[in-house]
Structure 1
Amino acid sequence: MTGAGVETRAAVGTGGALLLGVRHHGPGSARAVRAALDEARPDAVLVEGPPEADALVHLAADEGMRPPVALLAHVVDEPGRSAFWPLAEFSPEWVAIRWAVERGVPVRFIDLPAAHSLARADGADGADEKLGEREESEGPGRPGEEPGECEEPAAGGAGEDAVRIDPIAVLAETAGYDDPERWWEDVVEHREAGGDAFAPFEAVSDAMEALREVYGDAGHGRDLVREAHMRLQLRAAQKEFGPDRVAVVCGAWHVPALRRKTTVAADRALLKGLPKVKAEMTWVPWTHRRLSRASGYGAGIASPGWYGHLFAAADRPVERWMTKVAGLLRDEDRLVSSAHVIEAVRLADTLAAMRGRPLAGLSETTDAVRAVMCEGSDVPLALVHDRLVVGDVLGEVPESAPAVPLQRDLTRAQRRLRLKPEALEREVELDLRKETDAARSTLLHRLRLLGVDWGRPARSRGSTGTFRETWRLRWEPELSVRVAEAGVWGTTVLGAATGKASADAVGAAGLSDVTALAERCLLAELPEALPVVMRVLADRAALDADVGHLAQALPALVRSLRYGDVRGTDTGALGEVALGLAERVFVGLPGACVGLDTDAALEMRGHVDAVHQAVGLLGEFRAGPAEEPPADPGGDGTRGIRARWSSVLRVLARREAVAGVVRGRCVRLLLDGGELADGEAARLMGLALSRGSEPAEGAAWIEGFVGGGPGGGSGGGMLLVHDERLLGLVDDWLSGVSDDAFIDVLPLLRRTFSAYEPGVRRTLGELVRRGTRGAGPVVGGGGVPGFAEQIDAARADAVVPTVRLLLGMAQPQPQPPPQPQPPAQPRGHGHQQPEADAGTDTENGDLVGVAG
């Protein structure tokens, strides 16, 4: 090296090597690394990272490579054991790699090989953490913390139970800062360009040296093994390129260890006997959101979007940031003008000056945006944080990067169907009647079956037709691992989904799992897997005698028939299985509804609702040859599936041994389907709520009858609104319940009526308040108690003292008895009528006087 590098090498290097200690994902460190490399011009650049990536370094210069990206390492035979090493545009390691490849300078990775790290990812010391997916957060990004590192066991240092120290937090506290991020911004990120290119690294190196003298390995005992490997690689590079021709870019925490004088034998002893696996490595796209600390990634940063802006905006960063914020808010139809931008910049600069900062940082700009552009509201500010401070940038990887065959097939399908992976969640409406949309739906369903949840189904707006699907798409970096894992099932998406579905069918735990899998096979259009699933389904259905299991399985089969019709799939065999399953449910259901406790009865009510909906969709299929049923509601001379189901509902509705909530629901379903004669529902309700029935059973019957029909929660309420006879029966029953029993049934009634919409509850209250008109006689004859044309004054006056007591009002003083009045003397011609008493009807029937 020449120039300033020779003069400062002793401060930042060991044996002539230039050691550039950085903070991972730090834009200030990245600018400083670029300046130092331009000044020193080394013959080789060593970077903290897995050596298996040496063969992939050249791809960093490819036009198709756009950060953020990550190195992905996984075990060959077990892709789920994987690790990521993320790199953003503002990562010092990425800047060093780009500087080297653009100038033809060799790049070597010197950290512990992924083959060793992945071997310990299961935790030879008992840890079960995956590489790069630790749950703990170690402060604002420890300078020495390697993205993707696993929890290595201690080797000659502090154990895993030692106190873990955050070096940046210690340095910030020493400098009098309560926020480590703010200290790092002031000292590094806001440092003016120019001057000595090596000074920042010299200062950081001295600080780390002092910290390691006090804290040792600071609870990071695994670093001792990694640092031993780094020293060995550094010695080899110095021997090859010269002792003063090598530059090392690593976490600042490791610089003191690389400067430490140790023997080769001692370092090799630390590495001896490490477990090893066969690993593969490639580049994968990454996102700013996954770089954020909120994602659970230990080496993450809180504001990747802000750091990216600081790195890209070499001049006037605050002004350019405020312009970005204004553009975003304008896109959201908020009134933000250029005057807002100017005022926000002034306020941010003023806040920085008041707080003694060299430049307005994220906290100052955020406060200024809140006050000026968001009018003090945190709602639009949350949008700014999500879209700009964190950001939704998704990197790109060139086609020449190594990838499993399944990933390549998926990439081709994404291009063919024009479904580009994006980090920002977006909603896609698919019309299955269109060829392209149908193919998109098929691809997304196949990926979901493989566990690659790129898209998640959502409720369609404005249409309930089965030809329309709505998906929410968002590509996460972890999906690359899921694709690699799914590669064991096949080399194409179709082949892998077929193999996975067949294996899942054989290993399914229950009948409902197989029926759900059959539905997914139809949605994913897997003709080769469907026969295997149907064979397993038929076998399981024949052996399973649990009516609940059969009832759970039937709706999924019927939905599969519907989707098959939409997609043009032959579902004849599936329809026959569904009909056979329905017949078994019809036979076993009456016996299964007897002797149930409360929880089991509620579960059975759900099964009845599900079967009812399924039968409605299955009605076009016939249960068998034409037979004359005992009662033929259909009137077509055949024993149709709907007629069979109606007969089952009638049996359940009239059998006293059946749980009340199930009986009530069966009556409700028959009433909604027009299967009950006029007044039959009132008769059955009267029997269920008779004096001889247990109050709890009556309350359960009411819950089943009016507790929300299959179509929604207010159906039962509207039924009571329009049928005053049923409302009168409920009121009569509730009025006659004893005090002790009322306490028991109240929770059931509250659960039933609280599900109604406010308007329905208000209408029912008005009906009860004024009473029903013309209810007429009901079960047993007589009127409906509790309802009348006029208020019963005597009963109303009886509750007045209690109401006054509850309201804290004084009780009225008793009035003296009225004095007798002399008889009125006649005046004029004839006699005057006496004054009307309160409540006396006049000729027009109205009250004309009030007693004094």
Structure 2
Amino acid sequence: MSGGPAAAPAEPVLLGVRHHGPGSARAVRAALQACRPEVVLIEGPPEADVLIPLAGREEMRPPVALLAHAVDEPGRSAFWPLAEFSPEWVALRWALDHGVPARFIDLPATHTLAWRAPGEEPPEQEETGEKGKSGEPREQGEPREQGEPREQGEPREQGEQGAPGDLGTPADPGAGRPAGLPDVRTDPLAVLAAAAGYDDPERWWEDVVEHRGAGEDPLAPFAALEEAMGALREDTDEGSGRDRDLVREAYMRLRLRAARREFGSGVAVVCGAWHVPALRRGAAVAADRALLKGLPKVKADLTWVPWTHRRLARSSGYGAGIDSPGWYGHLFGVPDRPVERWLTKVAGLLREEDRIVSPAHVIEAVRLAETLAAMRGRPLPGLSETTDAVRAVMCEGSDVPLGLVHDRLVVGDVLGEVPEEAPAVPLQRDLARIQRRLRLRPEALERELELDLRKETDAGRGRLLHRLRLLGVGWGEPAASRGSTGTFRETWRLRWEPELFVRVAEAGVWGTTVLGAATAKAEADAGTARSLADVTALAERCLLAELPAALPVVMRVLADRAALDTDVGHLAQALPALVRSLRYGDVRGTDTGALAEVAAGLAERVFVGLPPACTALDADAAEEMRRQVDAVHGAVGLLGDDPAPGHGELRHRWLRVLRVLAARDTVPGVLRGRAVRLLLDDGDLPPEETARLMGLALSPGTPPGDAAAWIEGFVGGGAGGGMLLVHDERLLGLVDAWLTGVPAAAFTDVLPLLRRTFSAYEPGVRRTLGELVRRGPGPRGAAGTATALGLPGFAAEPDTARADAVVPVVRLLLGLDGDGDGDGGGDRDGDGGTLRATGGDGAGADRREHDGTDDSDLVGVRR
């Protein structure tokens, strides 16, 4: 049969495969080349028959997937992924290359999408088996195992979901079988591997299929696999009723009969190996039609979409997934010497990550992999041998770089491509047009994108990403900018997942363009928002996405909600988002007059209601209110800078509110301390008054818990409180004196709060405070503790000589031309080495050296 074209066999050629198995793919190609069938039937949804010609286009680059979704409910969807090494893809391409018809023969997607969750019977409907002149159901199809439908709202990680028998389906850990024995219905591959003495099914598959040389009879491996599957299915209780596999196989048999009537015996079938025995033994036509009678259905649309290797991986939740799609793609694609070529790829990746890997490492890794294969009795090194060799030779025994190899190569981030002619919803076409115009290409590998909104292209990219997020298409997630924090700067983390095509289809109900859909979605969300904070957040998103048509609707809802809401906490939560929106509007040139009016009104109502709302709070409520006070303070500061009439006065009224909070005994200590700190930072409270208020809060008559809470509010939260204590030793002395005077019985109660307060400081700040505390309080003079003690580096007046010594370094850091003026008391050693500080008391030495006290724990140093 391996010579020229062979005579058509009397029976159809049934090629049982493992989905996404490169060995199966090579065997299918050899079998089709030998048998030369007149038609190729493939497991898949028959509605996709019209899409088969697109698989032959040059622009079609796997991995790709057939996507089916319900027209009236786009979220109900299913995928049929195909990689370059998938047997079904190889069969499609062989048929197209040889001018042979190819058809899908599985249950139609219109039924699969209507089928309920596994184990749940579908509702009975009228019979859907419309008869043609042949008396068979009309030619439609259903997805294979990876095409399980999902309920609305269920996770959209669609794929072959646990249909029993497909060789790619992972084992089901459910009960009902002896411990350690695989379930034949959910993982026949594991059963066959165990029968052959293998603990790992992947290793068994590599040894018996992937590393098997080409035999004389290309159909022999399929015959052996069919015999094994037949034996497994003899002992399997297929149950009764409308089992999903039984229904699918009934439809496959009907399609197979129709193809044989049309093409005679020259028919080849490529399907999961589990289904081959059912197709071979056949069944009565009437029995098959009875199984198909009354199936539920929905109207479905299908198209090709790009897929990724990562989504082919079993770890992604894909039922028929494989552990190593990148490795399998390599095995299928390389012409020879797969181990040497693979380890060369690994070396290249590690060198890109600045690891020292030479050709000698590659040679040694190849030798080690081959030795390990020989010791383990394997015909060729597999993934486990190459991984062990990489770990030992190239990674020096570390699993950290090995994790990178697994993520980038063993699994991989390959993203497929489909032709523009592939059917798509109008919203998807508009999105693709915008992506091309903005040169923002979808990529499977996560990357960071820095945008400068002052540039037209970057501003357009930011608008697109914000609009997609509003539509629920999470292509990009905002990230913190490493550089400028101005509103003209945006940072995004981008990663395109295949499921986003479903999200785009779902969003298509809002409009045919990204702008129109985002506008309609924002208007609808405004009407269904549950809280005032939700509406203000929506207004902020409308400004970020530049949706001028939606903003008036959102603002009307916002004004109504703000007028009716009397909860100060809700108002305080809503105000910051409004004020941020004003700043975004300035950057994007949006008219924010209505926002400014609502923001000012909210601020006034917060000022009035905040003092009463801050009384009689427990510890958790007080901590939450402190965060809200911080947010309102920042918002008022920004709002006070706005040139709108009356906004400047808001700042003064807010400071008066803070004075009320700082002086009211019924307000929790954490809020009083925070109010004092905010007043001090704004210059509205002199240092002497601040010290007086701290002294009162830390007086012996104050319960230790309340005093510790005051300290937490004043210097906690990592908001520069540590540096404040470093530079104002009067405040540090007050804290130190209070802490040393806390009774032993109360000390253990306040210790956790104090540890939380000081643990937020930077290590250098904690170290400096530890030094100051360790050297003792000393006399409390106007110049502070360290000055009174005469500690190195501290003096009553600045040391100009020491200050001038750093001028050359500062000029160098700032990139200023020329050297210092030469009078700074600094010089360089004779060979142009490091700058040395002179002058003062010689304190240029490191003042941070200490006696080994654990300065990461300030609390307890004085104890």
Q: Is TM more than 0.5 here?
A: yes
* Contact 2:41–2:102 under 8 Å retained in 1: yes
The answer as to 2:233 corresponding to 1:238 is: no
Q: Which residue of 2 aligns with 1:466?
A: 487
Query: Residue by residue, what CA displacement relative to the aligned partner does 1:670-713 show, whole Å, maximum 9, x if unpaired?
Result: 111111124111111122222332322222111111113xxxx1
Q: Which residue of 1 aligns with 2:292?
A: 271
Q: How far does residue 714 in structure 1 lie from its aligned partner after superposition?
A: 5.6
Task: Give the SS at the match of 2:268.
Answer: strand
Q: How far does residue 623 in structure 1 lie from its aligned partner after superposition?
A: 8.2
Q: Which residue of 2 aligns with 1:453?
A: 474
Root-mean-square deviation (CA, aligned residues, Å) is 2.9
Q: Which residue of 1 aligns with 2:705?
A: 696
- Flag the 1:515–1:623 CA change in 2: closer, same or farther, 3 A: same
Pick aligned residue for 1:380 from 392, 401, 414: 401
Q: Which residue of 2 aligns with 1:747?
A: 752
* Contact 1:523–1:563 under 8 Å retained in 2: yes
Q: How far does residue 493 in structure 1 lie from its aligned partner after superposition?
A: 0.3
Q: Which residue of 2 aligns with 1:229?
A: 251
The answer as to 2:635 corresponding to 1:606 is: no
Q: Distance in 1 between matches of 2:782 and 2:104?
A: 92
Q: Which residue of 2 aligns with 1:567?
A: 588
Q: How far does residue 139 in structure 1 lie from its aligned partner after superposition?
A: 12
The answer as to 2:118 corresponding to 1:98 is: no
* Count of matched residue pairs: 751
The answer as to 2:573 corresponding to 1:552 is: yes
Q: Distance in 2 between matches of 1:140 and 1:338?
A: 44
Q: How far does residue 170 in structure 1 lie from its aligned partner after superposition?
A: 0.9
Superposition TM-score, scaled by structure 2 size: 0.83
Q: Which residue of 2 aligns with 1:682?
A: 691
- Flag the 1:46–1:133 CA change in 2: closer, same or farther, 3 A: farther
Pick aligned residue for 2:71 from 55, 76, 82: 76
Pick aligned residue for 1:192 from 213, 225, 230: 213
- Flag the 1:31–1:133 CA change in 2: closer, same or farther, 3 A: farther
Query: Residue by residue, what CA displacement relative to the aligned partner does 1:112-154 show, whole Å, maximum 9, x if unpaired?
Result: 1111111114568179972897989999997626899x9xxxx
Q: Which residue of 2 aligns with 1:291?
A: 312
Alignment of 1:475-514 (within 5 A): 475-514=496-535
Specify the code of the residue in structure 2 equivalent to 1:619.
Answer: G
The answer as to 2:335 corresponding to 1:314 is: yes
Query: Residue by residue, what CA displacement relative to the aligned partner does 1:729-762 show, whole Å, maximum 9, x if unpaired?
Result: 2233333333433333222222212222233233
Query: Residue by residue, what CA displacement relative to the aligned partner does 1:280-311 show, whole Å, maximum 9, x if unpaired?
Result: 11100000010011111111111111101111
Q: Distance in 2 between matches of 1:147 and 1:203?
A: 20
Percent identity reads: 75
* Contact 1:421–1:474 under 8 Å retained in 2: yes
Task: Give the SS at the match of 2:58.
Answer: coil
Q: Which residue of 2 aligns with 1:725?
A: 730
With 365-374 and 175-184 compared, the bigger mean Cα shift is at 365-374
Specify the code of the residue in structure 1 equivalent to 2:245.
Answer: D
* Contact 2:14–2:270 under 8 Å retained in 1: yes
Specify the code of the residue in structure 2 equivalent to 1:723.
Answer: D
The answer as to 2:767 corresponding to 1:771 is: no
Task: Give the SS at the match of 2:615.
Answer: coil
Q: Distance in 1 between matches of 2:751 and 2:609?
A: 33
Structure 1: give runs of 5+ residues left out of the alignment: 10-14, 151-160, 626-637, 791-852
Q: How far does residue 528 in structure 1 lie from its aligned partner after superposition?
A: 0.1
- Flag the 1:254–1:3 CA change in 2: closer, same or farther, 3 A: farther
- Flag the 1:268–1:145 CA change in 2: closer, same or farther, 3 A: farther
* Contact 1:3–1:40 under 8 Å retained in 2: no
* Contact 2:253–2:282 under 8 Å retained in 1: no
- Flag the 1:68–1:42 CA change in 2: closer, same or farther, 3 A: same
Q: Which residue of 1 aligns with 2:109?
A: 114
Q: How far does residue 426 in structure 1 lie from its aligned partner after superposition?
A: 1.4
With 311-320 and 62-71 compared, the bigger mean Cα shift is at 311-320
The answer as to 2:729 corresponding to 1:734 is: no
Q: Distance in 1 between matches of 2:731 and 2:609?
A: 31
Q: How far does residue 55 in structure 1 lie from its aligned partner after superposition?
A: 1.2
Q: How far does residue 776 in structure 1 lie from its aligned partner after superposition?
A: 4.8
The answer as to 2:420 corresponding to 1:399 is: yes
Q: Which residue of 2 aligns with 1:50?
A: 45
Task: Give the SS at the match of 1:452.
Answer: coil
- Flag the 1:315–1:474 CA change in 2: closer, same or farther, 3 A: same
Q: How far does residue 556 in structure 1 lie from its aligned partner after superposition?
A: 0.6
Q: Which residue of 2 aligns with 1:828?
A: none
Alignment of 1:612-691 (within 5 A): 612-621=633-642, 640-691=649-700
Q: Distance in 2 between matches of 1:188 and 1:232?
A: 31
* Contact 1:623–1:640 under 8 Å retained in 2: no
- Flag the 1:178–1:236 CA change in 2: closer, same or farther, 3 A: same
With 117-126 and 361-370 compared, the bigger mean Cα shift is at 117-126
- Flag the 1:249–1:483 CA change in 2: closer, same or farther, 3 A: same
Task: Give the SS at the match of 1:200.
Answer: helix
* Contact 2:80–2:159 under 8 Å retained in 1: no
Q: Distance in 1 between matches of 2:438 and 2:654?
A: 44
Q: How far does residue 262 in structure 1 lie from its aligned partner after superposition?
A: 1.3
- Flag the 1:592–1:139 CA change in 2: closer, same or farther, 3 A: closer
Q: Distance in 2 between matches of 1:321 and 1:101?
A: 31
Alignment of 1:347-362 (within 5 A): 347-362=368-383
Specify the code of the residue in structure 1 equivalent to 2:624.
Answer: E
Task: Give the SS at the match of 2:706.
Answer: helix
Task: Give the SS at the match of 1:640.
Answer: helix
Q: Distance in 1 between matches of 2:438 and 2:167?
A: 41
Q: Distance in 2 between matches of 1:727 and 1:172?
A: 70
Query: Residue by residue, what CA displacement relative to the aligned partner does 1:558-585 show, whole Å, maximum 9, x if unpaired?
Result: 1111111111212122111111111111
Structure 2: give runs of 5+ residues left out of the alignment: 123-147, 173-181, 792-863
The answer as to 2:358 corresponding to 1:337 is: yes
- Flag the 1:133–1:505 CA change in 2: closer, same or farther, 3 A: closer
Q: Which residue of 2 aligns with 1:409?
A: 430
Query: Residue by residue, what CA displacement relative to the aligned partner does 1:253-294 show, whole Å, maximum 9, x if unpaired?
Result: 100111123101111111112111111111000000100111
Q: Distance in 1 between matches of 2:162 and 2:292?
A: 30
* Contact 2:473–2:504 under 8 Å retained in 1: yes
- Flag the 1:609–1:459 CA change in 2: closer, same or farther, 3 A: same
Specify the code of the residue in structure 1 equivalent to 2:708.
Answer: A
